[in-house]
Structure 1
Amino acid sequence: MKNFLIVKLSAIGDVIHALPTAYALKETYPDCHITWVVEPPAYDLVNMCPHIDEVILFEKKKFKSFRGFLREYGPLKRKIQLRNYDAVLDLQGLFKSAAIARLGKAPIKLGMCNMRELSDRISRPVIGPHANGHIVERYLDVARALNCRVDEVRLTLEVPDREADIARRIFSQAGANMDNDYAVFAIGANWPNKRWPARHFAQLSDRLYDRKIIPILVGGGPVDEQRAAKICSYTEIPPVNLVSRTNFKQLTYILQQARLCLGGDTGPVHLAAGLGTPTIMVMGPTDANRNGPYGQPGNAIEVDRPCRYCWQRACPKGWDCLENITTEQVMAKIEEIL
């Protein structure tokens, strides 16, 4: 097999989980060409992966109007059909990804085990041995269906030197030194009930300063900026606040050098785990068996509530889902790691 088309558009965490599939294909078919279709938020991540040869950007917003669809469809189709593929992998499993997978000329079209929105009409779902396991393994089952060995699960990202230099300068401007031990706090998440309380982050921040480890806040957008301000206001010594100050290339470099990372079930935390950084994930509405820090199952701390794994974006009971995960629990896990 020589040519593969992978369709995995978003979200950040899901794209991170899917990236080892590219390495699995290259591991078995070292001379193959991999084309990946992705949406803008995850473009930088996919573009840093050395196992991906071509990245096609799908800008969904431009397709929302009838005029926009007519303008954008032709160029997208031509880009995709510049090659004939041996296999198309729809790792999104939604209507929009199925529409893109349909454009790829290939005798084989496969998708992941839990496809939705009629996407299984275009690509055959692979119900592999890990259909009830971690999402990384569910994606890799699609590669296994193409006779990939998957001897090693690897997420390789190459940060450009310029971005690494910028990351070091951002650190320095914030009053920190990357050569010292530091811990990254990913303070946000798309779901409100995936966010550990600000006061807990603040308490842990002070505890880490006592251990000579600098706490670093990362995230982006107005909600995370407000949370960062709260966390800083609750601390005795404010942590280093890099919220909304880095792009994903710079964040990747920061995570690569970190002593550890902490946060909820969210993209930057999955990125840290994929890079091999010791990663603690606090979890409530989602299941660690599926979404925990890959390769570090012992570092998932799940809330002790009978309603956990509800898979609801906001708690229907009005509870602060992760409040019951205490600073002491997290600090004990950090002591294990250190």
Structure 2
Amino acid sequence: MTYKNILIVKLSAIGDVIHALPVAHALKQTYPNARITWVVEKPAYDLLTNNPDIDEIIIFDKPKFKSLTGLLSNGYTFSKLLKSHHFDLAIDLQGLFKSAAISYLSGAPKRLVYCNARELSDKISQRICGNHEDDHVVDRYLDVAQHLGCNIDQVQFLINITEVEAQKAETIANHAGLRLENPYVVLAPGTNWPSKCWPTTHFVELADILYDNNIIPVIIGAPNDQRLAQEILSNTKIPPIDLTGKTSLKQLAYIIKKSQAFVGGDTGPMHLAVAVGTSVVTMFGPTDPKRNGPYGRNHRVLLVSDSCQGCWQRKCPKNNDCLARISVDTVFAVVQQEVSERQI
């Protein structure tokens, strides 16, 4: 069957939207004449702009729909907008009630949802379970594309950084004291779960060691990571370059792309590093790298040895900081190897 208007529903978060990018690419390669529209929330919008695989982006402004009044005043208009596109296929890669509702409101006669759907979203759309239902989430999403006849031999994370965006990133870096032609490593101390954070004291020690080895440490993160950044800046012998909260997603992607390596936990910027081809050194404790670790082989995952690894607890009920037992020396040894290989 040939599709003319395809809707992808993947709303958030940053890492999750990156994971879904290969589906858009696979669809465009298989159905080059199809118009592909993506519904996304504002925080991840920047990731999708200027992407040749995506013809239109519709923003789902989540705050407008949180109250009953907001739902009543905005729901009809949003539904009308979706139906005006005459979608013949909707693909729900979020697998939650809100994404199922968007898929349903689109009016698409064929609706698919990936295998691990929740919140009754599989009652709205047909659940697609392929050969990778227990594997990495990227492969689970691609099972849906394969179901539609797409070739998925080459997995592509296409994030199109324009020349203007690259120049702005250069300017921001220069103002902070960083020249992108010098060897540097990006450090991401923040995550959305307390249990996924490597201790700031470890980042302090690592930053000092990097400087001692002529590698510039650069702290990155969202505005709400500034407290962690300040803790590192206040305790290092030489403060790292701090770009926390100073860049857009595309500008951050460019800065990560130019770096020698990425160091951090299970967080959106880690997946951004994967997408732009930068080597990742990451520490995993409560989450499972098999499911949502850095995709591909050219990355290093350092796992805690605790029996409760992969507990999926946002905050440890035992007050156990398991990631603290991944030593700075261990992380630096891996980073040093990645930097040496990149400089060859």
Relative to the length of structure 1, the TM-score reads 0.96
Cα separation, 2, equivalents of 1:138 and 1:284: 22
Counterpart of 1:214 in structure 2 is 216
- Measure how far apart 1:86 and its partner are: 3.0
Cα separation, 1, equivalents of 2:126 and 2:32: 25
- Measure how far apart 1:312 and its partner are: 0.7
Q: Is the 8 A contact 2:218 2:240 kept in 1?
A: yes
Counterpart of 1:235 in structure 2 is 236
Task: Give the CA RMSD over aligned residues.
Answer: 1.3
- Tell me the alpha carbon deviations over residues 223-275 of structure 1, each in whole angstroms, 9 at most, x when there is no partner: x1111111122211111011111111211111121111111000001110122
- Measure how far apart 1:48 and its partner are: 4.2
Counterpart of 1:38 in structure 2 is 40
Of 61, 71, 74 in structure 1, the residue corresponding to residue 73 of structure 2 is: 71
Counterpart of 2:300 in structure 1 is 299
- Tell me the alpha carbon deviations over residues 151-202 of structure 1, each in whole angstroms, 9 at most, x when there is no partner: 2100111123222222111111111111111111111000001111111111
Q: Is the 8 A contact 1:273 1:296 kept in 2?
A: no
The residue type paired with residue 247 of structure 1 is: S
Q: Is the 8 A contact 1:288 1:297 kept in 2?
A: no
Q: SS of the counterpart of 1:62?
A: helix
Counterpart of 1:96 in structure 2 is 98
Cα separation, 2, equivalents of 1:336 and 1:180: 17
Q: Is the 8 A contact 1:56 1:79 kept in 2?
A: no
- Tell me the alpha carbon deviations over residues 293-337 of structure 1, each in whole angstroms, 9 at most, x when there is no partner: 101375111111111100010101001131011111111212332
Counterpart of 1:315 in structure 2 is 316
The residue type paired with residue 11 of structure 2 is: L
Counterpart of 1:281 in structure 2 is 282
Counterpart of 1:123 in structure 2 is 125
Cα separation, 2, equivalents of 1:115 and 1:21: 17
When residues 246 and 298 of structure 1 are mapped into structure 2, their CA distance, relative to the original with a 3 A threshold, is: closer
Cα separation, 2, equivalents of 1:32 and 1:261: 36
Q: SS of the counterpart of 1:19?
A: helix
Counterpart of 1:262 in structure 2 is 263
Q: SS of the counterpart of 2:37?
A: strand
Cα separation, 2, equivalents of 1:279 and 1:296: 10
Counterpart of 1:22 in structure 2 is 24
Identity %: 50
Cα separation, 1, equivalents of 2:29 and 2:280: 26
- Tell me the alpha carbon deviations over residues 31-81 of structure 1, each in whole angstroms, 9 at most, x when there is no partner: 221100011111111224331110011011101223322221122112211
Cα separation, 2, equivalents of 1:174 and 1:113: 44
Structure 2 gaps, min length 5: none
Counterpart of 1:172 in structure 2 is 174
When residues 43 and 104 of structure 1 are mapped into structure 2, their CA distance, relative to the original with a 3 A threshold, is: same
